[in-house]
Every structure is written in structure tokens, then in C-alpha cells.
Amino acid sequence: MNYALITGASRGIGKAIAIRLAADGMPVIVNYVSNTEAAEQTVEEIRNAGGKAETLRFDVSDPKACEDALEVWQKEHPDDYISVLVNNAGIRRDNLMIFMQNEEWHSVLDVNLNGFFYLTRRLLKDMLTHRCGRVVNVASLSGLKGLPGQVNYSAAKAALIGATRALAQEVAPRKVTVNAVCPGFIDSDMTASLDKKELKKLVPMQRFGTPDEVASLVSFLVSDRTSYITGQAISINGGLC
């Protein structure tokens, strides 16, 4: 059976993606790092709707934790493989560059960028062998245009977009596609502390997007209908450029 692994699927955009892909008929693996209750809630919602889901806890920024978790999963699923990987787990630690601490820089690069590297490298082997795979990286508007106060986050997401474009060319002959989605402001825990009233004035659609709207785009990108779309960074931002 082919599985979809969605990192950071206990909450927010990742949760919506897991629910959507399960509704599309894929068994999903709900990754998270600390919030077990929220991850189990995601799985319960999927199962109650008739889908198939399981949790898999590991820190995407820890290469050994990624490797160990996937090894255990593979042992428990000898006849299955992960054909869809959504690198969604992300954090932000905003600060002006002049005040930015080493920890704020490194933690954001570790989760948003290095996590993509550890997991994708590991899971590509099976996708290439089966000549079938979809990788979707959740980047950001911040990685396309750069946002003040987010030098660390903009750098990580811009690098993720560059890696998406390069990797797509490496694996295209084996029918594996690699794309990025670049959300603008989306309602989630990550944006809960922002001044929404002010920020939505910047958005031509005058509102934040929903996690479900991002999930619809990811659902399309991992479907059979997108076999000729690869190496793209697709914006979903209500017109905010």
C-alpha cells in the first residue's frame, strides 16, 4: 500500500493536509514533535470519517530521530512504502537580524530546511525504485519576497524553494515530482499572535487563508492529474505578492 507522510500534521496546515489526503483515499502518517493529544485528535478525526491514519512522532530536525522512526515504521509495514511526502513541519522565531540569537537562526533553519533534507533523502530511494512519488514542500511567501523580522525564516524558505527546483530536475526521469507551495497569511497557531486586523488590509482578498485552502492545493499536487508539473513554487496568498 502507498502511504502519505505529512510532517507537522498535529495542527494547522499539516492537519488539514492529512485530513484531505485521507479523504482522497490515501492512508496517512501524522507526524508531530511534542503535541501527542493534538496528533491523536487528527488521527481520530480521519478514522471517524472512514479514513486510515496513524501517528509517527519524531523531530524532523534530528537526523537520527528521522532515520530511527522510519526504520521502525518500515519494519511494521514490510509491504508498504511512502509514495507521498509533504514537508510541512515548520517554526518561526521572528526577530530583527541585529538582535537575532544564534539559536533563533539555527532552530529555524534546522526545522524548516534541514528537516526537508533528512526526510526527503531517506524516502526518495523507495520513490525512485517504484518510479512513482510526490514531494510537496511547504515554503512561504516569506521565502519568495523576504519579510522584515524574518531573515532566518525567509532564508530557510527561499532555500527550500531552491532545493525544490534542483531536486525536481534530478528525479524527473524517474517520474517523481517535487513542488513547493508558498502560502501567504493562513489562520493557524503560527499566526495567532499576529495583528490580524492590520495584516489582512495588506491582502487583496482582505482575509487570511484557511488551512483547508492550502490542503486543496496540496491534494491537487499529489494527485495523478499533475504528472507533468514539477519544480514549481506555487503561491496561495489571496493576491498578496
Region of 8-16, 119-127, 161-169, 171-179 interacting with ligand NAP (CB under 6 A): 8-16
Among 18, 19, 53, 60, binds ligand NAP (CB under 6 A): 60
Alpha helices (H) along the chain: 12-23, 36-48, 63-76, 102-109, 115-130, 141-145, 151-171, 196-199, 211-221
Cβ nearer to ligand NAP, comparing 14 with 51: 14
Question: Given the C-alpha cell 532566518, which residue does it identify?
Answer: 152
What is the grid cell recorded at 58? 519524531
- Within 13 Å and on the Cβ side, how many CA atoms surround 111? 19
Annotate 129-157 with DSSP letters as a single string.
Answer: HHT-EEEEEE--HHHHH--TTBHHHHHHH
Residues 6+ apart with CB under 8 A from 76: none
Region of 70-78, 87-95, 121-129, 217-225 interacting with ligand NAP (CB under 6 A): 87-95
Region of 2-10, 68-76, 98-106, 218-226 interacting with ligand NAP (CB under 6 A): 2-10
Residues 142-181, one symbol each (x = binds ligand NAP by CB under 6 A, - = not), give ----------------------------------------
Which amino acid type is present at position 115? G
**What is the nearest approach in angstroms of ligand NAP to the Cβ of residue 18?**
10
> Does the annotation count 3 as an active-site position?
no
Check residue 32 for interaction with ligand NAP (CB under 6 A).
yes
Residues 190-209, one symbol each (x = binds ligand NAP by CB under 6 A, - = not), give xx------------------
Cβ nearer to ligand NAP, comparing 91 with 203: 91
Alpha helices (H) along 172-210: 196-199
**What is the nearest approach in angstroms of ligand NAP to the Cβ of residue 182?**
7
Question: What residues are labeled active site?
Answer: 153
